Amino acid sequence: MGLFGDDFYSSKVSRRSKFSSNRKQHSETWNWKRAGQSHRRTSLSTLQVAMISSLTSAAFVILLYSWIIHAPTPATVVAAAEPSIDMIANAYDDLLVQAADKASPTIVSILNKQKAIEKEDSKQGLDDVSLGSGIIFEKKDNEAYILTNEHVVSGAHQLEIVLSNGQRKHAEVVGKDKISDLAVLKIDGAGVNQVAEFGDSRSLRRGETVIAIGNPFGLGGSLTSGIISYTNRMIPISLNGDGVFDWEQAVIQTDAAINEGNSGGALIDLHGRVIGINTMKIASTGAEGLGFAIPMHEVEKVVDHLMASGKVVRPYLGVYTVDLENEYAPITDEQRSDLKLPKSVTSGVIVLEASGPAQEAGFKLNDVIVKFDKQDIATTLELRRYLYEQKQVGDEMEITYYRDGKQMKATVTLGDRPNS
């Protein structure tokens, strides 16, 4: 069978074709004149067909030329397929709005009421109030739990929570940790219908859009937006508040505006997930767009401890120290002379006070610690890092130190840090 399924395009010869051929041989003379007449008619038909074909071809050429002249260029087609700037802007705005709407009901304002220091120009009994923010992250057994900064609740005589709907509740401290600057509070869960979703702060990239939600200057529910400026910044801090940096805090750096009262609030991504706890900003003159948040993968480790035991269990040595070499708080030549150190000893930590395990091991004022388990200890920050990252409660540790110019060693059994 041919491609079109009919005999006109077939290579086969039909019986009818053979029969017609035989008849043609027998009547060749009779058909000559008729054939001649048919030839004239066929020539006329061919002319007509030729004219019609010419006209059709001409019309097709004209239409094709017209289409080519008016057809859209490839650039026009691509431009038409690409979204407009307005479409992109609207989609971006929608993401911001949806993320804020998702997270906002879980953000609360915190009022830290403290007993006022009596002054001649103040009313006796009037409380001082400091402001902060918090995040509702769990609800169970008709109680809701709030995550915030330790410094937000520090020194509180009474804690009051204001929900996003304006409802006020009394709060109790479940646990807090000064080193990580985190605390967990508990409130009555009535009226709490939503808890925050945590995101993965380890997958953050510089340039990602983030939103800070909190209670700056008492303006609860405020939003500010910005980007991730740095994903894992190490910031030196002073745990004792004496201006000497004795610890480092891993933080997310952002240019989203973080002001007084934002502490403890949420830094969220465009999915409305909490990826950090707003904790501080650089307030130096001329500094703008330098805000910091504790990453959630660090927060979650601490929260588990606070929920379980009200504190983070860390090994405790019991020494209050100052660095032998510290550019921010250098010791005088006279003080160094009193230590009677060999000239070869240029770094270490000076014991100012000993308690707990250190006191039991016989440490005294002006002892200079230089090694833990044969590892050099040059600063208080290194001392803490070694204890918290390498040791556990109950571990024994060998300490190398100098007293009155003589090198000495002591073995200490590390304890549990007391609540005070």
Q: What is the pLDDT of residue 228?
A: 97
Active site residues: 151, 181, 263
23 confidence band (pLDDT: 50, 70, 90): very low
The Cα 337–Cα 320 span in angstroms is 21
Average pLDDT over residues 49-64: 65
What mean pLDDT value characterizes the chain?
Answer: 82
Residues whose CB falls within 8 Å of the CB of residue 154, separated by 6 or more in sequence, listed in order: 112, 176, 178
Task: Find, among 408, 259, 241, 387, the residue nearest to 340 by Cα.
Answer: 408
Average pLDDT over residues 289-303: 92
Q: How many residues does the chain have?
A: 420
Q: Are 324 and 331 in contact (CB under 8 A)?
A: yes
For a pLDDT cut of 70, what percent of the chain falls above it?
A: 75
pLDDT digits (tens, 9 = 90+) for 199-220: 999 999 999 999 999 999 888 8
Average pLDDT over residues 380-393: 93
Average pLDDT over residues 69-83: 56
7 confidence band (pLDDT: 50, 70, 90): very low
Q: What is the pLDDT of residue 208?
A: 96
Q: What is the pLDDT of residue 331?
A: 86
More reliable by pLDDT, 112 or 80: 112
Q: Are 143 and 186 in contact (CB under 8 A)?
A: yes
More reliable by pLDDT, 32 or 218: 218
What single string gives the DSSP state of each residue in 238-267?
-TTSSS---EEEEEEEE-S---TT-TT-EE
